[in-house]
Structure 1
Amino acid sequence: MTTTLTHDPARPTPGGRPLNGGTARQSGLRLRGTAWLVWRQHRAAFWTLTALTLVGVIVMVLLRGQMMDYVNAQDASSHNSTGLPPGFEKYTDRLFSFGSYLGYVPVLAGVLLGAPLIAGDLESGTAKLVTSQSVSRLRWLTMKLAMPAALLALSTAVLGAVFDWWWSPVKGRAETLVWTSFFNITGVTPVAYALLTFTVGAAVGMVLRRTLVSMVVTLGVVVAIDVIWDRFRLDLGHVVTVSTDKGVGPGAPRPKLPAQAEQLGQGTYFATSSGGRLDWTTCLDAPDNEKAHTACLESKHVVGWSIDYLPVSQMHTMQWLGAGIMLAVAAAAVAFVVVRGRKRLL
């Protein structure tokens, strides 16, 4: 018996008659078999994701146009294009606000798309019905993961690219628009991050087999991933140190960082003549007078200041390295879903 579960109703049966009285249609590109089934199952989520992506792109294009009109007008009137014009704060706020919204995409990908993906079918019995047909478990699992993953990757790539296009004209003109603030929502990072949370959500759903429970647990896992990522993401870069040897007293020059550099650590350190460093709190317990404080620093051979930083030139390398780690974990989650699904799906 042929079933509409894994068969397009408008597609003719082997005997030549369309199912359900439908009329066979000829078209250039049509989904068939398992691909058609997965699309039908999740078409509401897919269309919602597509619509939100289009809305996001339109909003960013409009906001960028307003920003550039203001910047160009101010630059023309002041003949200055090195810094941000006065009154630019509202455009900065828009960048940060929209960037924070994009930061929720991985959470939504894991909780709303990944967690219910397989758990819903296991809970409702759809998985048992599908695999009782002529569809293998491997084929069904592969399509269940591949179609939403492809759409998710495309959507996040587009959103990240458009946001980067919006931010690029002004990112070198103000210290407030530091590149680390937009590290997670530009380049390859948002794609890898969303795929990671999506696959982790699918793996959780495979284990727990209940939609609501899987969504709650996935939310906790995604939050934990976010905390760990924010803690260690800057460790992906190669730290650069800049020091001075002109003393640390009043009027002594501090190290000057390159444009858009991200300062790391506790801030400024004391540099010693031997090449070592001391915390800036060194000698704070000396007697409360400038002469005693200076004598204490001299006894420790302090000769200047030292600062650690990450240059903006390392941003793309760090993003690709981080994306590689995320995709490796995502691949492990996919492997777990496939292996477990082939052995213990039902």
Structure 2
Amino acid sequence: MQALTAGVALVGLAGYLIYLGMQIRDAYDKDIVGCKTSGDCEGATQLFLSDYELQVFLASVLLISVPALIGLFWGAPLITRELEGGTHRLVWNQSVSRTRWLVVKLSFIALASVIVVGVFSLLLTWAASPYDLVQGERFGAMGFMSRNITPLAYAVFAFVLAVTMGLLIRRTLPAMVVALAVVAAFQVITSFGIRPHLQEPSTATVALEADTEFKAIRDENSKMQIKGYNISGAWMLDSTHTMLEADNKPFTVAQYEKECFNGDMDKVKACLATKNLHLDVAYQPANRYWRFQWIEFAGYLALSGLLVAFCIARIRRPLF
């Protein structure tokens, strides 16, 4: 029944993602590629992103949630339902050893999890690829966790973790709650605490020119900063950067108001370009994307392997 439910849900999601992918591709060909003839590429880009931002976001959230749901409904009850029903006394005293019973169960359901999440990830990666190309934020938390190969490792980890929680807690509902909390915590910690430091960030000194693109200017503690500066395809580790003079002293609010303050952003940029200002930026280059995908994939599989080893050792104890 669980496999049938997952199959029906996957078919429905697959149909929607194929439809969404075709829509995005049509809009990309019409608005983004076609804007070269109209000349208004900036407006076309913003319209394209706003039209599909919600759909891609919701699909990404759903895919990120799938591993946790697999853990809850497939992993947590795997052992606890035997313990709660007392059937473990019969099941684990047959010719099939406890170890073999557990390994077969884990292998079969983990493979099913990988297939379900893998198909969904493949379709979402295909459907959202034009959107991701225009947006240019492949390292973003939502996009990174829901594209390509990392969701497969999340699925295995969430499933095995839920089985482990069930083995330790021995009650289905509490095991589901704890497993959900731990999986969510791992995803947050990995995205914001570990992934930025998987490799030493690259640094660069960027001259502030009249054509330097950024979203806004702001002041912070009497220092002028720009917000939204990006290197194409890279993962910017800071959203704001302080304007620095040639001697690396911060360009102050007082200097800005006296010398460059103006309601016209183009004139402000032209004025700032004459002050010999620069930015010190830290970022992860675009060419590290797949390296990070494989590192995270391998890391979650390694954690899953450790949990499997623990479960095998635990289930063989006389306590059961």
TM-score by length of 1: 0.72
Partner of 2:225: none
Shift of 1:334: 0.5
Shift of 1:132: 2.0
CA offsets 1:146-183 (integer angstroms, 9 cap, x no match)? 111000011111111111111223322235x5542310
Mapping of 1:26-41 within 5 angstroms? none
Pair 1:314-2:288 in alignment: yes
Distance 2:112 2:64 in 1: 18
Shift of 1:257: 4.2
Q: Unmatched 5+ residue regions in structure 1?
A: 1-43, 292-301
Mapping of 1:142-221 within 5 angstroms? 142-175=103-136, 178-180=138-140, 181-221=142-182
Q: Do the aligned partners of residues 205 and 234 (structure 1) sit closer, same or farther apart at CA in structure 2, a change above 3 Å counting? A: same
Shift of 1:114: 1.3
Shift of 1:321: 0.6
TM-score by length of 2: 0.78
Shift of 1:53: 2.1
Distance 1:205 1:104 in 2: 20
Pair 1:51-2:8 in alignment: yes
Partner of 1:261: 234
Distance 1:67 1:268 in 2: 33
Distance 1:289 1:73 in 2: 43
Deviating 4+ runs (over 3 angstroms): 73-87, 244-247, 251-258, 269-274, 286-291
Q: Mean alpha-carbon deviation: is it higher for 328-337 or for 72-81?
A: 72-81
Mapping of 1:54-133 within 5 angstroms? 54-74=11-31, 78-79=35-36, 84-85=44-45, 87-88=47-48, 89-133=50-94
Secondary structure class of the residue paired with 1:217 = helix
**Alpha carbons 2:161, 2:179 under 8 Å: kept:** yes
Instruction: Give me the identity figure in percent.
Output: 27
Secondary structure class of the residue paired with 1:51 = helix
**Alpha carbons 2:235, 2:284 under 8 Å: kept:** yes
Distance 1:77 1:223 in 2: 41
Give the aligned length. Answer: 284
**Alpha carbons 1:204, 1:214 under 8 Å: kept:** yes
Aligned residue type for 2:196: L
Q: Unmatched 5+ residue regions in structure 2?
A: 215-228, 260-275
Distance 2:35 2:207 in 1: 38
Mapping of 1:6-25 within 5 angstroms? none
CA offsets 1:82-127 (integer angstroms, 9 cap, x no match)? 7755642222321112111111112212222211111111111222
Q: Do the aligned partners of residues 246 and 164 (structure 1) sit closer, same or farther apart at CA in structure 2, a change above 3 Å counting? A: closer
Structure with greater proportional helix content: 2
CA offsets 1:252-279 (integer angstroms, 9 cap, x no match)? 96897432222113521455768xx77x
Secondary structure class of the residue paired with 2:135 = coil
Shift of 1:202: 0.5
Partner of 2:197: 235
Q: Mean alpha-carbon deviation: is it higher for 141-150 or for 222-231?
A: 222-231
**Alpha carbons 2:206, 2:281 under 8 Å: kept:** no
Q: Do the aligned partners of residues 241 and 218 (structure 1) sit closer, same or farther apart at CA in structure 2, a change above 3 Å counting? A: same
**Alpha carbons 1:172, 1:259 under 8 Å: kept:** no
Aligned residue type for 2:241: T
Aligned residue type for 2:117: T
**Alpha carbons 1:244, 1:254 under 8 Å: kept:** no
Distance 2:90 2:318 in 1: 15
Distance 1:167 1:323 in 2: 21
Q: Do the aligned partners of residues 340 and 264 (structure 1) sit closer, same or farther apart at CA in structure 2, a change above 3 Å counting? A: same
Distance 1:168 1:197 in 2: 26
Distance 1:318 1:112 in 2: 29
Distance 2:47 2:244 in 1: 39
Aligned residue type for 2:28: V
